[in-house]
Structure 1
Amino acid sequence: VDIVTQIDTMIEETLARTDVPGLAIAVVKDGEVAYAKGYGTTSLDGGAPVTDQTVFQWCETSMALTTMAVMKLADEGKLDLDKPIVDYVPYFHLADERYKEITTGQILAQVAGIPDSGAAMADWETFMPQYDGAALERWVRNDLAEKGLLFAPGEGWEYSDLAYALLGSVIEAASGQPYEAYMTEHFFAPLGMEKSTFLLEEVDKTLLASPHVPDAEGVTAVTKAQPYHRPFAAANNLFANVADMAKLAQFSLNRGELNGVRILPESAFDTMWTATTPTPFADFPFGLIHPSMLMLEWGNGWFLGDIAGHPAPNTGGGEHGYLAQMFLVPDANLGVVAVGNRLATDEYYAADIAADILGMLLEK
């Protein structure tokens, strides 16, 4: 049986088992997109077939891109990772006075002490998201300001989407541009990621896969709420298709360059992909660790794992209606991205599929 048939069969079985309406994958190998395909439907309510052009929300995969932006600004001398964030964002404050010590570098390493939103953001149906350009600053001033610290900055480890959302303000201060505009100009445009954006209003709605969640009876249904709140852009709001994410994977495997355009120095990938701390599996939010997540250690903005003896930097996440994953195997010049339009609370199917595909390819 050829590898493509194996992949197709495995994915069809996964969709049936997990009740995921639609899924897309892409495989990059040696600088080429070796395979990109969609499966299932964009919506159980009159959807279209998923293709490699279908746009999904990539949830916390956003953090890896945000980290790249921080690395770029640091390389250009516009941002010092060891300076307190208040030097750049003077209106940032928390309910714990030690917030004044928190640096950008500590957020990248997830050692700042800022808590994760956890399940607090799970109820998007009743949450009132904000879309305007001032929403991020308002959130930092009013909502984030009510949070305390879990530990003294630098003294522990906590995976925090709220801390990463704050980096949106840091990037805006250092670059002089709105976060979303900065990401489009400096990453999506030069990489040719034409359908990618952090702004919901820019998404091509004809290509957008609808988010699905289980209803009270456990039946998968389209959710009315897009899990989009503008202040969370840097942590959560990446919209893209697998064709675009394949370009991001190639750019990463090339350590900062694609098609002759260099955006980041190679050293940025040393920083992102060097372990800063082991991850406490048992304490991970939601307590849903599957071995294929391979989140053995945290670098800066990326999880670091191991697939068949190969180091495998990875990034992914799930939100109200989506689940996404990117695995890279730099020493094999290989990467896989997978994304689906249902949040599965019992398993990380996107990570499972990506890891299984890598396993097949590495065994060849």
Structure 2
Amino acid sequence: MGLQRVWIGLGLFLASALAIAADTDMSDVDAAIDETIARYGLPGLAVGIIENGQVVYRRTSGELVAGEGAPITTQTLFKIASNSKAMTTATLARLVDAGKLRWDDPVVRHLPHFRVSDPWVTREMQVRDLLIHNSGLRAGAGDLMLWPEPNHFTRADVIAGLAHLKPVHSFRSRYDYDNLMYIVAGEVAAAAGGVPYEDLVRREVFAPLGLTRCQVGAWSPGDIGDVAQPHTRRDGHNAVIRRDGATVAAATMDAAGGIRCSLDDMLAWMRAWLRPDAPSHPWLSPSQRNAVWSAQIPIPVSRRQRDWEGSRYTAYGYGWRLSDADGTFKVAHTGTLSGMYSSVTLLPQRGVGFVILINADAEDARSVLGQALLKRYTAPQSVHTVAHYAQRVESERSAPGASRAPDTSARRPLASDAIPTLAGVYRDAWFGDVSVCPEAGEMRFRAHKSPMLDGRLMRVGERLLVDWHDDSVDAEAWLEFTPGAHDGPATLAMAKVDPDADFSYDYEDLSLSRVRDCQSGAQPQK
């Protein structure tokens, strides 16, 4: 921890001495962006770069909605997804500065109704524990209460549901990425700050930093204008998914991933971190900056990090990932939602930061463009192009054993009378009710509080699979039925068909027991 604080001190107080000189020739950046757009067929993106604490590059390309003509601009709103977490922790840090809470406060001091499955952990969990992914729950536990959206889960549902989620590791023993605890953190901030989370982040982050376009909570796209829509690839073309309606409602997951901002907003946000001494940004004390960027829990260094960046350590601070890249201190985070990808990277020792915003399912595009931009500053003596990293990604993907997804192409619908005892309504303590009932001669799965989780049951060999109706739900599920025995109810267990699919499809945390039959008039609950 001590070494980490020294690095942070160097980044914050000696940035001007260590920063690289501004390079007005950005032709290599333009070339990298052009190649990324062409290679991955992106509908739109926005990229910005800061050097020496000053914005030296802005680039936008593409459309808000593919094929409709309205262009991406520096004012276009994108979903920043999990880059919202750093704004939540900044809000908390402001409250710490104001004396309204402490990082080591027990959570129950601010939320007396907070519970997890272990009473000791309930008593011992501190505000800081909500932010660093050390709860002991599996990665993404309970995320089915957040995604796919829209759904009918509230923040009260999330907090109540935590009491029923079972840990897979001991508390504080290891890192496993967690979104639900950030929902709790947002409610802790609201309780300490005296106003709802959305009002608080506007007051403590947006207003003092001049993030004039950022949106959180309820708002109207028609009134705000210039809003990028998420896309996925279908038949070689970009197609909009989950398009905004006339009103965007306040989302349960706002504190974990619900904020939208423009490129100009994100550049102002990064400058506030890279230029803490600037007169316009006296918004956070040095002690709280150090707290937010101090290593709180180690993260295993991935093979890609070792091979691509020469990383020797990775850790999580409060809402930021901390690592070394080619010997340079790196502070970064990514954001991932269906059809929207973001990336923020700061190199405090060099006074450099860059942001990438994409309105598409674009993990590879984000990775290779981000790496090409990173190497521009951490290893300028080498040439590392988008093509170079794209080829490495393809090599990783085609390596023997890289994909664990089984072949499920030989699937056929499950007839409604194939398993006579299967039909019924099943209940999980945190997720609520699901119906597995006959419909048009087949069996259909419907989650009552998550309407996107609606699909047909299919046979794949001896196994059952749920084939979701909406293809934007991109992780199919195995369904395992166990008939009731010894007066116990029938049960269902679920698991991802592709074990490497997004961990937020946390089917494995469901424990569904039959509570009634399909003829009892069960209707989806709101």
TM-score, L = length of structure 2: 0.61
Q: In the alignment, which of 102, 106, 118 is matched to residue 84 of structure 1?
A: 106
Pairwise mapping of residues 119-138 of structure 1 onto structure 2 (< 5 A)?
Answer: 120=144, 124=148, 127-129=150-152, 135-138=154-157
The residue aligned with 2:403 is none
Larger Rg: 2
Q: In the alignment, which of 245, 254, 257 is matched to residue 236 of structure 1?
A: 257
Secondary structure of 2:65's aligned partner: coil
Work out whether 1:139 is the aligned partner of 2:158: yes
The 1:111–1:309 alpha-carbon spacing in structure 2 relative to 1, beyond 3 Å, is: same
Q: In the alignment, which of 33, 40, 43 is matched to residue 55 of structure 2?
A: 33
Relative contact order (C-alpha < 8 Å, sep 6+): which is higher? 1
Q: In the alignment, which of 344, 366, 369 is matched to residue 353 of structure 1?
A: 369
Pairwise mapping of residues 151-166 of structure 1 onto structure 2 (< 5 A)?
Answer: 151-166=169-184
How many angstroms does 1:30 deviate by?
1.8
Q: In the alignment, which of 12, 17, 21 is matched to residue 39 of structure 2?
A: 17
Q: In the alignment, which of 248, 254, 264 is matched to residue 275 of structure 2?
A: 254
Pairwise mapping of residues 49-88 of structure 1 onto structure 2 (< 5 A)?
Answer: 49-88=71-110
Q: In the alignment, which of 197, 213, 229 is matched to residue 232 of structure 2?
A: 213
Alpha-carbon contact 2:48-2:59 (below 8 Å) kept: yes
The 1:48–1:250 alpha-carbon spacing in structure 2 relative to 1, beyond 3 Å, is: same
How many angstroms does 1:258 deviate by?
4.7
The residue aligned with 1:44 is 66
How many angstroms does 1:228 deviate by?
7.8
Secondary structure of 1:60's aligned partner: helix
Q: Following the alignment from structure 1 to structure 2, what is the Cα–Cα distance between the partners of residues 74 and 156?
A: 26
Secondary structure of 1:160's aligned partner: coil
Pairwise mapping of residues 281-320 of structure 1 onto structure 2 (< 5 A)?
Answer: 291=308, 296-320=314-338
Pairwise mapping of residues 265-344 of structure 1 onto structure 2 (< 5 A)?
Answer: 265-280=285-300, 291=308, 296-344=314-362
Alpha-carbon contact 1:24-1:340 (below 8 Å) kept: yes
The residue aligned with 2:125 is 102
Q: Which moved more, 1:24-33 or 1:268-277?
A: 268-277
Q: Which moved more, 1:287-296 or 1:43-52?
A: 287-296
What one-letter code is carried by the residue in structure 2 that aligns with 1:72? Answer: R
Q: Which has the higher strand share?
A: 2
Alpha-carbon contact 2:230-2:241 (below 8 Å) kept: yes
Q: Following the alignment from structure 2 to structure 1, what is the Cα–Cα distance between the partners of residues 104 and 231?
A: 41
What one-letter code is carried by the residue in structure 2 that aligns with 1:209? Answer: A
Alpha-carbon contact 2:146-2:253 (below 8 Å) kept: no
Q: Following the alignment from structure 1 to structure 2, what is the Cα–Cα distance between the partners of residues 202 and 250?
A: 28
- Unmatched segments (≥5 aa) in structure 2: 1-22, 382-526
The residue aligned with 1:197 is 215
Q: Which moved more, 1:293-302 or 1:319-328?
A: 293-302
What one-letter code is carried by the residue in structure 2 that aligns with 1:278? Answer: P
The residue aligned with 2:449 is none
Q: Following the alignment from structure 1 to structure 2, what is the Cα–Cα distance between the partners of residues 151 and 351?
A: 30
Q: Which has the higher helix share?
A: 1
How many angstroms does 1:306 deviate by?
2.6
Q: CA offsets per residue over residues 25-79 of structure 1, 9 Å max, x none?
A: 1111222211112012221141422121111000000111111111121222211
What one-letter code is carried by the residue in structure 1 that aligns with 2:266? Answer: M
Alpha-carbon contact 2:231-2:340 (below 8 Å) kept: yes
Alpha-carbon contact 1:137-1:169 (below 8 Å) kept: no
Secondary structure of 2:211's aligned partner: coil
The residue aligned with 1:113 is 136
How many angstroms does 1:288 deviate by?
12
What one-letter code is carried by the residue in structure 1 that aligns with 2:370? Answer: A
How many angstroms does 1:315 deviate by?
1.5
What one-letter code is carried by the residue in structure 1 that aligns with 2:212? Answer: E
The residue aligned with 2:475 is none
How many angstroms does 1:162 deviate by?
1.3
- Unmatched segments (≥5 aa) in structure 1: none
Alpha-carbon contact 1:59-1:238 (below 8 Å) kept: yes
The 1:110–1:341 alpha-carbon spacing in structure 2 relative to 1, beyond 3 Å, is: same
Secondary structure of 1:195's aligned partner: coil
Q: Following the alignment from structure 2 to structure 1, what is the Cα–Cα distance between the partners of residues 116 and 241?
A: 33
The 1:37–1:272 alpha-carbon spacing in structure 2 relative to 1, beyond 3 Å, is: same
Q: Following the alignment from structure 1 to structure 2, what is the Cα–Cα distance between the partners of residues 105 and 292?
A: 29
Q: Following the alignment from structure 1 to structure 2, what is the Cα–Cα distance between the partners of residues 228 and 304?
A: 33
What one-letter code is carried by the residue in structure 1 that aligns with 2:366? Answer: A
